[in-house]
Structure 1
Amino acid sequence: MSGAAPAVSGVALVTGASSGIGAATASALAAAGAHVVLVARRAEALAAVASEVRDHGGRASVLAADLAAHGEPERVVAETVERFGPPTVLVNSAGVVRLGVVHELTPRHWELMLRLNLTVPYLLTHEVLPYMRKRSTGTIVHIGSAVTQEPISHTAGYAASKQGLNVLSELVALENRDHGIRSVAICPGWVHTGMSPVPAELGAATGELLTPGDVADAVLWTVTRPPRVSVGPVIHLAPTSGRAGTRASITRLTGTEVR
């Protein structure tokens, strides 16, 4: 982004903040002025991200939590409010993917994806909305996926959960737009992170993929639009290269034919 970083005031609660998109988003929001509260399971990894944020002059606090566990989303919001104040920004970046055709996808993996990718964002949103509505301001950003744009074999559980996340974003936007609250799902294609497949093994170059910073920039842009501006509620980001396209990469990864 050109020029001075836009100001983001208040508390920004970011899940999945120990690495990848979540860590990059937390760093971007902190650089813009927010006090970021970092949430993920791995306390040591969160501490490293928080330390880096502080080294660059930002404010960061850590809340280690397994958000898939019963009661943890509610605890995270309650503790954030008690210790740091009500969030003005919520970024739901925590998620999980398990690929498999429907008849081979285990119920355990199906339920895990629905829980972490959809139910947990709902619970966090449910908890922060009353505070945002009381203050007539706030932004909720869900990190979705490009798999919601077209049916792709082996993605049933992941796509279903992320499609539900898009609908959740749309309805929260509809129900809260007159209360000064923005709700957006940002749906990136293939992002190069430490957990993503090796690009060369799937016929793409590293430089053709999106970076966590690309997604973080989109989050920051969304959060810093003037209150009069409506964006989304679903925004898609994609690599320019067809070799790094979502369908092409997943079909190569799973060994299925591109149709």
Structure 2
Amino acid sequence: MSAAGLSGVAVVTGASSGIGAAVARALADAGAHVVLVARRIEPLSRVAEEVHARGGRASVLAADLAAEGEPERVVAQTVELFGAPTALVHCAGVVRLAQVHELPPTHWELMIRLNLTVPYLLCHAALPYMRKNGGGTIVHIGSSITRETLSHTAGYAVSKQGLNVLSELVALENRDHGVRAVAICPGWVRTELAADPDELGVGAEELLTPDDVAETVLWAVTRPPRVSVGPVLHVSPTTSRAGTRASITRLTGDREG
């Protein structure tokens, strides 16, 4: 993976595995000092070791972003220890699938909190520094679920749709301050948290990989300052067999959604 030189501090949430870890490696390879954020320090440390082995710079900042005050602490501690972030990539997220009448309120609240409120809080804390310094890029990892209405996806779809709108507003309100915001919405990605494609009759090679998403993030972050992208970008598998509707239908067994 190659890109134009990238400098400054890049905060990556959900960096302990999957898309977040791939994004962290990509940004570090391009020259950023990556601050790795997630709940579990052990897998974060392994990602940091991978970055160091590749000649990059990475620091670990363990945080439960769903907890009160943690998003604000992450930004404040990053600024204190490493400097103001020039890039913020929010990969952390959660999904719980159920029809509305069966979805526990605690699951709804968790999805709204981690998928939408936490990105807002991170933006709220980081934007003043980016505006003061004359630039920066905020990337939210959204979902292709926002392209259509599918049964069993209530809290997830609502939170990710809100994330798209948040990204659009941040882009609109900060474009004259050199700050870009983009929501990158991938389809089915092959990660340890995703459904097993073999169980759903889809070949693993048909899915996106975390590196596919990471390369898209890197492309967005390294555009020249004059270039605006998005603010909503969709990245999907080529084959319809791995499409969002097909995968959710197979996963939930719902034939009417």
Aligned to 2:149: 151
What secondary structure is seen at the aligned counterpart in 2 of 1:103? Answer: helix
Among candidates 6, 9, 26, match of residue 8 of structure 1? 6
2-structure distance, mates of 1:234, 1:227: 18
From 173, 184, 187, the equivalent of 2:185 is 187
CA distance in 2, matches of 1:202, 1:152: 17
Aligned counterparts of 2:96 and 2:196: Cα–Cα separation in 1: 17
Match of 2:118 in 1: 120
Q: Does 1:71 align with 2:88?
A: no
Q: Partner residue of 2:48? A: 50
What is the DSSP-based 3-state SS (H/G/I as helix, E as strand, rest coil) of the residue aligned with 1:182? strand
Runs (4 or more) in structure 1 with deviation over 3 Å come to: none
Letter in 2 for 1:32: A
Question: Match of 1:54, as an amino acid?
Answer: H
Q: Which amino acid aligns with 1:212?
A: P
Choose which of 150, 167, 170 in structure 2 pairs with 1:169.
Answer: 167
Aligned identity (percent) is 74
Distance 1:167 1:196 in 2: 25
1:183 shift after superposition:
0.2
Measure how far apart 1:200 and its partner are.
Answer: 1.1
Provide the residue aligned with 1:103 in structure 2: 101
Task: Tell me the secondary structure at the aligned position of residue 67 of structure 1.
Answer: coil
1:194-248 Cα distance to aligned partner (Å, 9 max, x none): 1111101111100000000000000000000011111000000000011100100
Query: Which residue, 184, 189, 197 being the options, matches 2:195?
Result: 197
Alignment root-mean-square deviation, CA: 0.8
Q: Kindly state the Cα deviation for residue 258 of structure 1 after the two structures are TM-superposed.
A: 5.4
Q: Are the counterparts in 2 of residues 88 and 137 from structure 1 also a CA contact under 8 Å?
A: yes
1:236 maps to which residue?
A: 234
Scaled by the length of structure 1, what TM-score is found?
0.98
Residue 61, structure 1, aligned to residue 37, structure 2: no
The answer for unaligned runs of 5 or more in structure 1 is none
Amino acid at match of 1:188: P
Which residue of the partner structure matches residue 160 of structure 1? Answer: 158
The answer to whether the 8 A contact 2:3-2:222 is kept is no
Q: Report what 1:207 is aligned to.
A: 205
| Aligned-pair CA distance for 1:32 | 0.1
For 1:90 and 1:235, the matched residues in 2 are separated by 17
What letter corresponds to residue 62 of structure 1 in structure 2?
V
Where 2:27 maps in the other structure, the secondary structure is helix
- Matches of 1:92 and 1:76 in 2, distance apart? 12
Q: Is the 1:248–1:258 contact (alpha carbons within 8 Å) kept by the matching residues of 2?
A: no
Shift of 1:5: 2.6
Q: What secondary structure does 1:89 align onto?
A: strand
8 Å contact 2:72–2:121 — kept in the other structure? Answer: yes
